[in-house]
Amino acid sequence: MKKYDLVTVAMRILGGDDHALDIEDIAMKCEELAPGSFAWRKYRNQINLELVGFAVRDAKKPKYGGLVSGSHAKGWRLTAPGVAQANKLLADLGSDDILQVQPTKHRNLDENRNNRELIRLRESSAFKEWQTSTEASKLALTQLLRINAYASQDSIDVKVARLAKVIGLDEEVDTFVNYIISRKQDLL
């Protein structure tokens, strides 16, 4: 089940076809129906209201059927298509079912960020130089780290630490990142 469908079902159960609902009530019902589907990344027992808001706003979009109307300030209501969709989904469920919700991009934000950084690193001139000669020029390394001659040691440490987050994703890149770490002092 998509997350925008989950909020639609939760809203139907809460009476969102009759009156406007607060996002917090929707969040609590979603947690009851599909535990952890809107959980914080680090503290899995906490509900992330921002993710619930994303799902409700998705349900409002015409491309997903315009299932919901309203706003955060005025509250959220089901539209006629939303009621029909929620009723269909509820009919397909047993009364004791815990819903299985598909993960979204939001849940994998760190993973997506690390994958983008891995691609950026592999396409850099510093990485290409290093692959050919196990060395990379200071210029190529500073371009990769996005630093200049005025960069402080602290800013270099932060940039290298960010780059180190990709360690473990690719063995060759691991070796390259360790090479950068060993050259950190040369970049000042």
pLDDT tens sequence across 54-93: 999 999 999 999 999 999 899 999 998 898 899 888 887 7
Decide: 14 and 6 in contact? Cβ < 8 Å: no
**Which letter, b or e, does each residue of 158-176 get, where b requires 16 or more Cβ atoms within 10 Å of its Cβ?**
ebbeebeebbeeeeebeeb
Note the pLDDT of residue 96.
47
**Sequence letter at residue 31:** E
Q: Where is mean pLDDT largest: 20-29, 42-51, 159-168, 172-181?
A: 20-29
CATH of domain 3-103: 1.10.10
Chain position carrying tokens 């940039």: 159
Q: Domain coordinates of the chain in residue numbers?
A: 3-103, 110-187
Q: pLDDT band for position 108 (50/70/90)?
A: low
Inform me whether the pLDDT recorded for 133 exceeds 90. yes
